[in-house]
Structure 1
Amino acid sequence: MTATSPRLKHEVKDLALAPLGRQRIDWAGREMPVLKQIRDRFEKEKPFAGLRLVACAHVTTETAHLAIALKAGGADAVLIASNPLSTQDDVAACLVTDYEIPVFAIKGEDAETYSRHVQIALDHRPNIIIDDGSDVVADLVKNRQHQIADLIGTTEETTTGIVRLRAMLKDGVLTFPAMNVNDADTKHFFDNRYGTGQSTLDGIIRATNILLAGKTIVVAGYGWCGKGTALRARGLGANVIVTEIDPIKAIEAVMDGFRVLPMSEAAPQGDLFITVTGNKHVVRGEHFDLMKDGAIVCNSGHFDIELDLKYLASQAKEIKTVRPFTEQYILNSGKSVIVLGEGRLVNLAAAEGHPSAVMDMSFANQALAVEYLVKNKGQLAPGLYSIPTEVDQEIARLKLQALGIYIDSLTADQVEYINSWQSGT
Structure 2
Amino acid sequence: MDFHVKDLSLADEGLKLIEWAEMDMPVLRQIRSRFNQEKPLKGIRIGGCLHITTETANLARTLKEGGAEVYLCASNPLSTKDEVAAALVKYFEIPVFAIRGEDKETYYSHIKAVIDKEPHITIDDGADLVTTLHRERPEKLDKVWGGTEETTTGVIRLKAMARDGALKYPIIAVNDALTKHLFDNRYGTGQSTIDGILRTTNRLLAGSYFVIAGFGWCGKGLAMRARGMGAKVIITEVDPLKALEAVMEGYLVMPMDEAAEIGDFFCTVTGNKSVIRKEHFLKMKDGAIIANSGHFDVEIDLEDLKSISTKVRQIRKEVEEYTLINGKRIYLLSQGRLVNLAGAEGHPSGVMDMSFANQALCIEYIVKNKDKLEKKVYPVPEEIDKEVARLKLIAMGVKIDTLTPEQKKYLSSWEEGT
The C-alpha deviation readout for 1:179-226, integer Å capped at 9, x for no partner, is 010010000000000000000000000000000001101000000000
Aligned-residue offset at 1:50: 1.4
Paired with 2:345 and 2:168, the residues of 1 have a C-alpha distance of 35
Computed over aligned residues only, the root mean square deviation of the Cα atoms, in angstroms, reads 0.8
Matched residue, 1:4: none
Aligned-residue offset at 1:12: 1.0
Paired with 2:406 and 2:151, the residues of 1 have a C-alpha distance of 41
Aligned-residue offset at 1:420: 0.5
Letter in 2 for 1:40: S
Aligned: 1:41 with 2:20: no
The C-alpha deviation readout for 1:16-63, integer Å capped at 9, x for no partner, is 111111111111111100001111111111111111110000000101
Aligned: 1:375 with 2:372: no
Aligned-residue offset at 1:144: 2.0
Q: Give 2:113's match in structure 1, choosing from 94, 113, 120.
A: 120
* Superposition TM-score, scaled by structure 2 size: 0.99
Matched residue, 1:348: 341
Q: How does 1:48-87 map to 2 (within 5 A)?
A: 48-87=41-80
Matched residue, 2:312: 319
Aligned-residue offset at 1:143: 2.0
Q: How does 1:139-218 map to 2 (within 5 A)?
A: 139-218=132-211
The C-alpha deviation readout for 1:202-257, integer Å capped at 9, x for no partner, is 00000000000011010000000000000000000000000011111010000011
Aligned-residue offset at 1:175: 2.2
Q: How does 1:120-139 map to 2 (within 5 A)?
A: 120-139=113-132
Q: How does 1:166-315 map to 2 (within 5 A)?
A: 166-315=159-308
What secondary structure does 1:267 align onto? helix
CA contact (8 A) 2:268 2:292 kept: yes
Aligned-residue offset at 1:287: 1.0
What secondary structure does 2:262 align onto? coil
Letter in 1 for 2:210: I
Letter in 1 for 2:321: Q
Aligned-residue offset at 1:126: 1.1
What secondary structure does 1:242 align onto? strand
The C-alpha deviation readout for 1:90-128, integer Å capped at 9, x for no partner, is 111100010000001111111111011111111111110
Paired with 1:372 and 1:190, the residues of 2 have a C-alpha distance of 22
What secondary structure does 2:171 align onto? strand
Q: Give 2:413's match in structure 1, choosing from 416, 420, 425.
A: 420
Matched residue, 2:400: 407
Paired with 1:363 and 1:130, the residues of 2 have a C-alpha distance of 11
Paired with 1:331 and 1:252, the residues of 2 have a C-alpha distance of 35
Q: Give 1:332's match in structure 2, choosing from 325, 329, 332.
A: 325
Paired with 1:145 and 1:24, the residues of 2 have a C-alpha distance of 37
Aligned-residue offset at 1:415: 0.5
Paired with 1:330 and 1:107, the residues of 2 have a C-alpha distance of 27
Letter in 1 for 2:301: D
Letter in 2 for 1:399: K
CA contact (8 A) 2:278 2:308 kept: no
Letter in 2 for 1:312: L
Paired with 2:311 and 2:407, the residues of 1 have a C-alpha distance of 69
Aligned: 1:18 with 2:7: no
The C-alpha deviation readout for 1:261-290, integer Å capped at 9, x for no partner, is 011111111111000011111111111111
What secondary structure does 1:55 align onto? strand
Letter in 2 for 1:389: E
Aligned-residue offset at 1:378: 1.3
* Superposition TM-score, scaled by structure 1 size: 0.97
Query: How many equivalent pairs are there?
Result: 418
Letter in 1 for 2:103: D
Letter in 2 for 1:224: W
Give identity over the alignment, percent. Answer: 59
Q: Deviation above 3 Å: which 4+ runs of structure 1? A: none
Matched residue, 1:5: none
The C-alpha deviation readout for 1:287-320, integer Å capped at 9, x for no partner, is 1111111111000000011110111112222111
Matched residue, 2:90: 97
